[in-house]
Amino acid sequence: MRISPSTKRILLGVLGGLVLLLVVAFAIFQWKRQQLLTYALGEIKTRVERKYPVLLTLGPARFTALNTVEIQGLTVVPREAPTDTLLTARRMLASLSVRSLFAGRPVFSGLEIVTARLTARKTPDGDNFGFLLKKDKAAPKVAVDTTKGTNYGLLLNQLLEAGFDNVPDEASFRDFVVSYTGLTHRALLRMPGLTIDDGDIKGRLSANVDSEVNELGISGHIEPDDYAVDVKLFGVGGSVQLPYIPQRFGALVSFDTVQVRLTERDFEKDDTGGRLTLRGSLAARNFSLYHPKLADSEIEVREGALNFVATLGRGTAALENGSELVVNKVTFYPQISVRLKPSRAVRIKVESAETPANDFFASLPTGIFSVLQGTKGTGTLKYQMSGSVDLAQVDSLRFDSSLKGKNFRITSFGEEDLNKLNTDFSYTAYNDKGDSIRAFTVGPSNPDFVPYNDVSPYLKSAITTAEDPRFFTHKGFMEKAFVMSAIQNIKEKRFARGGSTLSMQLVKNVFLTRQKTVARKVEEALIVWIIENTRLVSKQRMFEVYLNIIEWGPSKYRWPSGKRGVYGVKDAALFYYGKRPDELNLAESLYLASIIPKPKYARESFDMYGDLRRSTRYFFRLIADLMEKRGLISNGERDNLPYALNLNGPARGYMHFAPRPDTTRAAPADSSMYEPINLIDLLNTGAGNDAGANVGAPPIGPR
> What angle in degrees, to the nearest 10, is found between the helix axes of 586-594 and 569-577?
110
Confidence of residue 104 (pLDDT cuts 50, 70, 90): low
The predicted pLDDT at position 675 comes to: 36
Q: Is the pLDDT of residue 106 over 70?
A: no
Q: How confident is the model at residue 683 (pLDDT cuts 50, 70, 90)?
A: very low
Neighbours of 578 (CB within 10 A): 15
* pLDDT given for residue 702 in this prediction: 38
Residue 379 burial by Cβ neighbours in a 10 Å radius (0-12, 13-18, 19+): middle
Could you tell me which residue, 694 or 643, shows the higher pLDDT?
643
Mean pLDDT over 87-95 rounds to 86
Name all domains of the chain by residue range, CATH numbers in brackets: 416-696 (1.10.3810.10)
Q: Could you give the angle at which helices 614-629 and 586-594 cross, rounded to 10 degrees?
A: 110
> What average pLDDT does range 530-540 have in this prediction?
93
Q: What's the confidence (pLDDT) of residue 674?
A: 35
| C-alpha pair distances (Å), 665 with each of 62, 610, 642, 668, 674 | 107, 14, 19, 9, 22
pTM value surpassing 0.85:
no
Q: Answer yes or no: is pLDDT of 686 > 50.
A: no
> Quick one: residue 63, left, alpha or beta (phi over 0 = left, psi -120 to 50 = alpha)?
beta
pLDDT confidence of residue 671: 40
pLDDT of 493 > 70? The answer is no
Residue 420's contacts (CB-CB under 8 Å, 6 or more residues apart) are none
Band the pLDDT of 494: cuts 50, 70, 90. Answer: low
Secondary structure (3-state) at 202: strand
Sorted by sequence, the CB contacts under 8 Å of residue 526 that are 6+ apart come out as 369, 372, 403
